[in-house]
Amino acid sequence: MEPVMMHRWDLDPVEAERLQRGLSAQVIRTDQLHDVRYVAGVDVAYDPETDKQLAAVVVLNARSLQVVETTVAEEQVSFPYRKSRLKAHGFNRGMKGGVSSMPSEEGA
């Protein structure tokens, strides 16, 4: 599974906030899914003592809720910290390719 990049990640804080507002307007709030096989939880955090950003992803089998894969990334913050901006400012660089060993259709 490779992430689909739909926009630049090297944004300044104003651009990042504008992007995040635009993306939030695209959230679909109705159920449009049929056979969901996997679900994922994602969280991003900032540690002010080390000035690092941390992210974690956990992928679960939707039926059994067993953990299929996890990944964690950590890096120094390269822009002024503002709550909720880490997600919109390219932190996924550390995650790129991190969640990549999903089972094939036959193995699921």
Q: For the segment 41-99, what is each residue's pLDDT rounded down to a tens digit?
A: 999 888 888 989 899 999 999 999 999 999 999 988 876 666 655 454 444 444 444 44
- CA-CA distances (angstroms) from residue 72 to 13, 33, 42, 78, 92? 24, 27, 10, 18, 11
Residue 9 covered by a domain:
no
Give the chain's largest Cα–Cα span: 46
- Whether 76 is in a domain gets the answer yes
| 46: containing domain | 36-92
Residue 97 lies in a domain: no
Question: Tokens 């880490």 — which residue?
Answer: 86
Side chain identity at residue 102, one-letter code: M
- What is the tally of structural domains in the chain? 1
pLDDT tens digits for 19-29?
A: 989 889 888 88
- Between 34 and 8, where is the model more confident? 34
- The reply to whether 41 falls in a domain is yes
User: What pLDDT does 84 receive?
Assistant: 56
Q: Answer whether residue 15 is part of any domain.
A: no
What pLDDT, on a 0 to 100 scale, did the predictor assign at position 57? 96
Q: What is the pTM of this model?
A: 0.52
Question: Long-range CB contacts (< 8 A, 24+ apart) of 26-35?
Answer: none
CB 97 within 8 A of CB 104: no
Quick check: is 7 in a domain?
A: no
Query: What are residue 40's phi and psi, to 5 degrees?
Result: -135, 145
